[in-house]
A and B are shown apart, each in its own frame.
Chain A
């Protein structure tokens, strides 16, 4: 294809997106569109399955059978969401195994929030309330993103995720209505998860490299800072209902703007965790790699069995 033809295709493609048309896997797309989508969708998928680990850490210790079942169902949903997203990514011509390889080698990233440890039961509440709350804000606009398979996966994810945040908030509510010991547990969890949750929206707009292109392709509808503000505005009143304090002395409602002003985020910590120096980066990756390696004989055996059955079938037919 000549350069001019590609340019022409490019223009047609951008016009289609501007008209809100969906792009489907077999459609022509610029290589950069494909690569950006592989990167973002797989990062999203990796986040789902790495995200299973900190919460999975409490399944065996959940304080009641009702909580245990709800947590198990939630962690299972995350596996399902990872699966939907990997499938969407695979339509772009990359296999799940290749995507795993990128995760396991450290080449692909996942959400840094999962590199923090879950040290008390209240962390399960805080994750549902804050982390899923932040995730929903990030994800809802993606139900309308330009790439069809991603948008469809997100519709399913968002529909299923609606119970996750409620589950978390209900845990926090129960703790805050409980004994002083329980309430202290809830406060401690908020103290530890608040700032990392704010970091989930990524660097400030000034620092963010992908925003403009992502906006054009509808991978993003609002900027990092706008989404972060939306999260804070929605979450602070929820903390008030719980009767616990957001750990930010500078947090104050601004009558003029109608938004909360908030303190400086520790971006140094953010970049350290992104670079792999968070409290649990090493353990999370090790857990994923180990599950994959220990499962190799199982996957191989299932394939071998399938081949044998197929051969038998063919022999019978002939």
Chain B
């Protein structure tokens, strides 16, 4: 492929939205209130909307007869580029909220930079996405505060989720080969530059939520290189079920 790096770069962004959307999709109908079900579904719908724009673009770059669904659903696990954070399971509502918040804060920073990309398509998708992601961050941030500073039980559950998920945050700022290529061309965002802003903002909010920021020295990584956690295979099994069982059909 002529634009292999750009293609990979797009997947690196799009797969996060796809996999997180898929996780949120598992929850619909099972949340603590109808209101939260509706809110989380809105976030999932935004993420799938973004995903489709990216994959349609990626499919065009790939050329031939490839469609957005081929890109989304017909890759091997090792070819998915999402970070480990977004594939982590819906252990409880605290994990759902913390996972969302830790991602949203990064996602917003990324979109704010990506809207200046030299690639017009990516810039346009980012511009539209900023409004959606700002709202996601507002929603998840509010809930982190509520549950962090709610009851003793909710505080404990939130702290557990923060402690468990914190190890996946550093990977957000790693650069892949495709990242470096795209940064060089003025298309990609240098995410390593976003690290300090991210941790400052997140720390401030967690403190406001009366949660303790973990003092982690070792972080998990691998998602961006396609080495995922063991959860990923099951997630993909569901995501790909129809496309794998009934290949080459229209739905």
Q: In the complex they form, do A and B come into direct contact, defined as C-beta atoms under 8 angstroms apart?
A: yes
| Residues of A participating in the B interface, judged by any CB pair closer than 8 Å | 49, 52-53, 56, 59-69, 72-73, 75-76, 79-80, 82-83, 86, 121, 171, 174-175, 177-179, 181-182, 287, 290-292, 294-302, 304-306, 308
Flag whether B249 is at the interface (Cβ < 8 A): yes
What is the CA–CA distance of A291 and B27 in the complex, to the nearest angstrom?
A: 10
What is the CA–CA distance of A69 and B24 in the complex, to the nearest angstrom?
A: 12
Given A63-B242, A291-B32: A72 in contact with B151 (beta carbons within 8 A): no
Q: Report whether B51 and A65 are in contact in the complex, using a CB–CB cutoff of 8 Å.
A: yes
Contact of B41 among A79, A171, A175, A182 (CB under 8 A): A79
| Residues of B participating in the A interface, judged by any CB pair closer than 8 Å | 22, 25-26, 28-38, 41-42, 44-45, 48-49, 51-52, 55, 68-69, 72-73, 92-93, 145-147, 149-151, 153-154, 157, 235, 238-239, 241-243, 246, 249-251
- Identify whether the interface residues of B are mostly helix, strand, loop, or mixed: helix
The 6 closest A-B pairs by CB, nearest first: A295-B32, A301-B150, A301-B154, A63-B242, A52-B29, A63-B251
What is the CA–CA distance of A63 and B245 in the complex, to the nearest angstrom?
A: 10
Look across to chain B and name the residue whose beta carbon is closest to the beta carbon of A298.
Answer: B32
Contact of A121 among B42, B68, B235, B242 (CB under 8 A): B242
Contact of B29 among A49, A182, A299 (CB under 8 A): A49
Q: Report whether B45 and A76 are in contact in the complex, using a CB–CB cutoff of 8 Å.
A: yes
Q: Report whether B151 and A59 are in contact in the complex, using a CB–CB cutoff of 8 Å.
A: no
Residues of B within 8 A of A292 (CB): 32
Residues of B within 8 A of A62 (CB): 242
Given A59-B26, A60-B238, A294-B32: A174 in contact with B48 (beta carbons within 8 A): no
Q: Report whether A297 and B249 are in contact in the complex, using a CB–CB cutoff of 8 Å.
A: no
Look across to chain A and name the residue whose beta carbon is closest to the beta carbon of B41.
Answer: A76
Q: Report whether A68 and B48 are in contact in the complex, using a CB–CB cutoff of 8 Å.
A: yes
Minimum Cβ distance to chain B for residue A153 (Å): 14
Residues of B within 8 A of A80 (CB): 34, 38
Look across to chain B and name the residue whose beta carbon is closest to the beta carbon of A177.
Answer: B250
Contact of B34 among A82, A181, A301 (CB under 8 A): A82
Minimum Cβ distance to chain B for residue A64 (Å): 5
Q: Report whether A300 and B26 are in contact in the complex, using a CB–CB cutoff of 8 Å.
A: no
Contact of B246 among A49, A66, A182, A299 (CB under 8 A): A182
Given A65-B51, A69-B49, A305-B145: A60 in contact with B29 (beta carbons within 8 A): no
Q: A298-B154, A301-B151 are in contact. List 16 more A-B contacts (CB 8 A).
A: A52-B29, A63-B69, A63-B242, A65-B69, A65-B72, A69-B49, A72-B25, A72-B48, A73-B41, A79-B34, A79-B41, A121-B251, A181-B249, A291-B31, A295-B33, A304-B150
Contact of B147 among A83, A294, A301 (CB under 8 A): A301
What is the CA–CA distance of A62 and B243 in the complex, to the nearest angstrom?
A: 9
What is the CA–CA distance of A84 and B149 in the complex, to the nearest angstrom?
A: 30
Q: Report whether B44 and A297 are in contact in the complex, using a CB–CB cutoff of 8 Å.
A: no
Q: Report whether B37 and A305 are in contact in the complex, using a CB–CB cutoff of 8 Å.
A: no
Given A298-B32, A301-B147, A305-B146: A75 in contact with B41 (beta carbons within 8 A): yes
What is the CA–CA distance of A235 and B197 in the complex, to the nearest angstrom?
A: 59
Minimum Cβ distance to chain A for residue B64 (Å): 18
Q: Report whether B154 and A60 are in contact in the complex, using a CB–CB cutoff of 8 Å.
A: no
Residues of A within 8 A of B22 (CB): 60
Residues of A within 8 A of B92 (CB): 294
What is the CA–CA distance of A302 and B150 in the complex, to the nearest angstrom?
A: 6
Minimum Cβ distance to chain B for residue A49 (Å): 7
Q: Report whether A297 and B151 are in contact in the complex, using a CB–CB cutoff of 8 Å.
A: yes
Q: Report whether A56 and B150 are in contact in the complex, using a CB–CB cutoff of 8 Å.
A: no
Contact of A69 among B45, B149, B243, B249 (CB under 8 A): B45
- Candidate in B32, B92, B93 with the most chain A CB atoms within 10 angstroms: B32
Q: Report whether A300 and B151 are in contact in the complex, using a CB–CB cutoff of 8 Å.
A: yes
Q: Report whether B48 and A61 are in contact in the complex, using a CB–CB cutoff of 8 Å.
A: no
Residues of B within 8 A of A294 (CB): 32, 92-93
What is the CA–CA distance of A11 and B250 in the complex, to the nearest angstrom?
A: 61
What is the CA–CA distance of A49 and B34 in the complex, to the nearest angstrom?
A: 8
Residues of A within 8 A of B51 (CB): 65
- Candidate in A60, A178, A301 with the most chain B CB atoms within 10 angstroms: A301
Q: Report whether A56 and B154 are in contact in the complex, using a CB–CB cutoff of 8 Å.
A: no
Mind listing 7 A-B residue pairs with CB under 8 Å? A61-B238, A65-B72, A72-B44, A76-B37, A79-B34, A174-B250, A294-B93
Q: Report whether B48 and A291 are in contact in the complex, using a CB–CB cutoff of 8 Å.
A: no
Contact of A76 among B38, B55, B149, B154 (CB under 8 A): B38
